């Protein structure tokens, strides 16, 4: 039988794959429902699921008909904003994919078209900031590259806004993120679609893409110098270890520094052809520690402050799928709070569990 997620109970059995907007199911068939599954179904705006008449423990299941149809309809209406944003995002990804194919065929970058696609979405992202930090869930291995450019544009805009840039500069920084990889169109397609690790020669070719991006854009008069420099420098690092030139901090433009951090974040939190995704909060910690000296500390801190909006009482899902409630925060360790687990009320301090990470916040 089919029921609304609000009618589910822990112990129900889902008997048909629950599909989203990717090729993989959000929840596979034969899953026994836990609280996290109900939360996921609501977050992805699923309206009905197919379940067994029998619970996993063998008892019969009767859906809760006390939930008024009006209440369900109100929730659907309330979720329209989030649905609209995600649909707009996915539409922008498809537009970027089409533009990229044209660039591969030798077409010039149509900056008017670019602005029509990304600027309205940036405006929405500045209102729906929490949604932007969930975009890595939409990225698939096959289409990662197209998702990446759109997501980096939005993430860069949010960080720029947090840093206090003017609205016009926020848009320019978003454009920098969106266009930073356009030069990938000049890379051999077999390299872009390779499933295994790149050879040294192939990686050296990929490292040319910031220069190719710059060349594609340098003759567009409406693009500001900061955008061009940001595109060229988004893989440079403050310690001089980046590419294509190996510049140090003093010669790096702020636009490029912002895109450098968001580019790395989205890449590491997304499924790619040759690498599995990582926990967003683990990546933030790497930006703070392992990558110290490579990224601008002020930018990384703004990134963290934009994303980590934890307070006492916030529910989070951990990397081992446990759900817990934050009961104490240390200002110096925003991604390593003290958590009370729902399963057994045990209290753990994440700073004492280095292999355990917050996966994401839970909204019930």
pLDDT band at 39 (very low <50, low <70, confident <90, very high): confident
- pLDDT 10s digits, 274-319: 566 677 888 888 888 767 789 999 999 899 888 776 667 888 889 8
Check: CB of residue 100 under 8 Å from CB of residue 109.
no
Contact present, 230 and 205 (Cβ < 8 Å): no
Residues 192 and 257 in one domain: yes
| 148 shares a domain with 162 | yes
Domain stops at, among 78, 111, 143: 78
**Using 50, 70 and 90 to split pLDDT, how confident is the model at 348?**
very high
- Give how far the C-alpha of residue 247 lies from the chain's centroid of Cα atoms, to the nearest Å: 28
List all residues 6 or more positions away from 163 whose beta carbon is below 8 Å from its beta carbon.
Answer: 258, 298, 299, 302
> For residue 48, what pLDDT is reported?
82
Mean pLDDT of the chain: 85
Greater pLDDT, 317 or 39:
317
Q: Between 192 and 360, where is the model more confident?
A: 192
Statement to judge: residues 73 and 87 lie in one domain: no
Total count of domains within the chain: 3
34, 62, 78: which is the final residue of a domain? 78
Stretch (H or E) spanning 349: strand 347-349
pLDDT tens digits, 110-130: 999 999 999 999 999 998 887
The conformation of residue 51, written as its DSSP 8-state character, comes to B
pLDDT exceeds cutoff 60 at 73: no
pLDDT of residue 24: 64
Rounded CA separation 93/253 (Å): 27
β-strand partners of 358:
318
Together in a domain, 176 and 42: no
Q: Please report the pLDDT score of residue 317 as a whole number.
A: 87
pLDDT at 70: 41
Q: Tell me what the mean pLDDT of segment 134-143 comes to.
A: 77
Mean pLDDT of 183-195: 91
Shared-domain flag, residues 324 and 279: no
Residues 114 and 241 in one domain: yes
Which of 265, 290, 307 is at the close of a domain? 307
- From the list 337, 347, 304, 341, the residue with the least C-alpha distance to 324 is 341
Q: Indicate if the alpha-carbon torsion angle 284, 285, 289, 291 is positive or negative.
A: negative
pLDDT higher than threshold 90 for residue 347: yes
328 and 184 belong to one structural domain: no
For residue 221, what is the domain's CATH number?
Answer: 1.10.3210.10
The answer to whether residues 31 and 165 belong to one domain is no
**What pLDDT is stored for residue 3 in this prediction?**
80
Alpha-carbon separation of residue 328 from 26, 117, 354 (angstroms): 32, 42, 17
Shared domain check, 178 and 245: yes
DSSP letter for 317, please: E
Q: What is the predicted pLDDT for the residue at 61?
A: 63
The CA R_g of the chain, rounded to the nearest whole Å, is 22
| Overall pTM > 0.85 | no
pLDDT at position 285 is 82
Are 290 and 348 in the same domain? Answer: no
Range of the domain at 344: 315-362
* Terminal-residue alpha carbon distance, the chain: 24
Q: What is the pLDDT of residues 241-257, one digit of tens each?
A: 999 999 999 999 999 99
Q: Report whether 136 contacts 275 (CB < 8 A).
A: no
- Please state, in angstroms and rounded to a whole number, the distance separating the CA atoms of residues 71 and 7: 12
pLDDT of 63 higher than 70: no
Residue 36 in this model has a pLDDT that exceeds 80 = no
Is residue 187 domain-shared with residue 244, that is, in the same domain? yes
Residues 35 and 95 in one domain: no
């Amino acid at each position: 039988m089919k029921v609304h997620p609000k009618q589910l109970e822990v112990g129900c059995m889902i008997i048909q794959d629950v599909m989203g907007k990717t090729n993989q199911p959000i929840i596979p068939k034969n899953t026994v429902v836990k609280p996290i599954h109900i939360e996921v179904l609501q977050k992805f705006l699923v309206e009905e699921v197919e379940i067994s008449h029998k619970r996993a423990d063998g008892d019969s299941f009767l859906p809760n008909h006390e939930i008024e149809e009006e209440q369900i309809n109100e929730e659907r209406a309330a979720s329209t904003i989030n649905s609209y944003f995600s649909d707009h995002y996915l539409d922008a990804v498809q537009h970027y994919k089409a533009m990229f194919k044209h660039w591969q065929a030798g077409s010039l970058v149509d900056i008017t078209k670019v602005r029509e696609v990304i600027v309205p979405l940036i405006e929405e992202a500045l209102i729906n900031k929490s949604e932007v930090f969930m975009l890595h869930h939409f990225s698939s291995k096959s289409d990662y590259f197209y998702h990446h450019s759109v997501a980096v544009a939005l993430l860069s805009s949010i960080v720029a806004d947090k840093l206090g840039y003017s609205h016009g500069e926020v848009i320019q920084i978003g454009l920098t993120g969106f266009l930073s990889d356009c030069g990938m169109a000049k890379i051999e397609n077999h390299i872009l679609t390779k499933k295994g690790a790149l050879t040294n020669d192939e990686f050296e070719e990929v490292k040319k893409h910031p220069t190719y991006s710059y060349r594609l854009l340098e003759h567009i008069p409406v693009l500001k110098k900061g955008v061009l420099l940001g595109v060229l420098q988004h893989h440079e690092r403050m310690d001089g270890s980046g590419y294509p030139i190996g510049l140090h901090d003093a010669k790096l433009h702020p636009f490029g520094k912002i895109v450098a951090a968001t580019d790395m974040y989205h890449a590491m939190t997304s499924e790619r052809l040759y690498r599995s995704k990582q926990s967003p909060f683990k990546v933030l910690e790497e930006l703070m520690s392992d990558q110290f000296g490579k990224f601008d500390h002020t930018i990384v801190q703004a990134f963290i402050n934009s994303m980590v909006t934890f307070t006492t009482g916030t529910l989070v899902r951990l990397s081992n799928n446990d759900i817990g409630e934050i009961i104490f925060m240390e200002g110096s360790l925003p991604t390593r709070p003290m958590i009370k687990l729902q399963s057994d009320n045990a209290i753990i301090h994440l700073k004492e569990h280095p292999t355990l990470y917050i996966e994401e916040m839970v909204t019930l």
